[in-house]
Amino acid sequence: MKLLLLPAVFALGSATHSGRSSARQLATFPGFAENIAVRHSGDILVTSLTTSSIQLLDPRVSNVTVALPPIPGANGISGIVEVEKDFFAVAAGIWNTTERRETNASVWMIDFRQSPSTRPALKKVVNIPETTALNSFTSIPGSSIVLGSDSNVGAIYSIDIGRRTYSIVNQDNALAPPGPAPSLGVNGIKVYGSYLYFANSGTGVLGRFPISRTGLATGPVQPVSQFNGSTYSGPDDFVIDEDGTVWISFHPNTIYKVDKDGKQEAVVSGDQILDPTSVTLGRGGEKGKRVLYASVNLLGEQIIGGVAEIEI
């Protein structure tokens, strides 16, 4: 979810990066890059809060992106998650990126299974008219259930993609924003083992709580690590690797690694990782696992999204 607003100074050439890795820009495209997922093939999908088309790119080919067919009735897309092989669910809506709130939210499936990569089948799953900030998606493995964060009311939706039903399965103070719009509460979420991990952008909390097979909270929130959160600076989406290490994007310009004890370390920061909104791991063998892809944004007169590759 967008945290930084104009004007951001994009200081070309005056790199001030710290951290132990460096980022390589793979591609840029018009729009505010919001969330990122990787297909089995290794291709990258990026959603944008300011366009209704998902961008598809092959990380082995620099600067070539394909805009997938637009999702009707939307001006932006936030969460994206793979539910089964080559079958993704996304959150679409009509966003106001100043308020960081939306209307007309709906869940769609993007199905590559029977279709060419550049023209997947699009199908609406369900409308969720009640939400004003359906943000990040994660799935419960082995089920057709997608969990979605609501950054406005501080809630978790459970959406059954097969049955085309949804309900709020958890609402908690720890998930709520600290102030009114444009403040954001729960943002990135990820199922890991029997826990749902979450980042609250406004309060800076990275936390987790145990969940049932349908996403219901079965225990209290446990803090994992505390960041400095505020309206325009804070943690966003993240990924958890098989060792339990969290790799998290942080506005305005850092990717942090958080170990199981909650210790934070900047992996990359500065001009080469501007406004990272989301981070995911590469796929495909040992090499894929050592690469992070981050959705980033060059905020200037025009909003340009991009994808950065970071070797870890």
Ligand X SMILES: *[C@@H]1O[C@H](CO)[C@@H](O)[C@H](O)[C@H]1NC(C)=O
Among 98, 173, 214, 222, binds ligand X (CB under 6 A): 98
Distance of alpha carbon 146 from the chain centroid = 14
Which amino acid is present at 227? F
Query: Which residue, 69 or 210, is less far from ligand X as judged by CB?
Result: 69
Burial of 98 (0-12, 13-18, 19+ CB in 10 A): exposed
Part of the chain binding ligand X (CB under 6 A), chosen from 39-47, 92-100, 194-202, 214-222: 92-100
Tell me if 230 contacts ligand X by CB under 6 A: no
Part of the chain binding ligand X (CB under 6 A), chosen from 91-99, 193-201, 216-224, 238-246: 91-99
For 276-290, b/e burial (b = at least 16 CB within 10 A) is: bbbbbbbbeeeeeee
Among 21, 22, 104, 117, binds ligand X (CB under 6 A): 104
Part of the chain binding ligand X (CB under 6 A), chosen from 35-43, 99-107, 157-165, 229-237: 99-107
- Residues that contact ligand X, how many (by CB under 6 A): 12
Min separation Cβ 275 and ligand X, Å: 17
Query: Which residue, 28 or 117, is less far from ligand X as judged by CB?
Result: 28
Tokens linked to 121:
């089948």
Length of the chain counted residue by residue: 312
The DSSP element (H or E) to which 201 belongs, if any, is none
Tell me if 127 contacts ligand X by CB under 6 A: no
Tokens linked to 129:
């008219």
Question: Prior bond to 252 cis, omega within 30?
Answer: yes
The DSSP element (H or E) to which 288 belongs, if any, is helix 285-289
Positions that interact with ligand X (CB under 6 A) = 28, 62-63, 73, 96, 98-99, 103-104, 227-228, 264
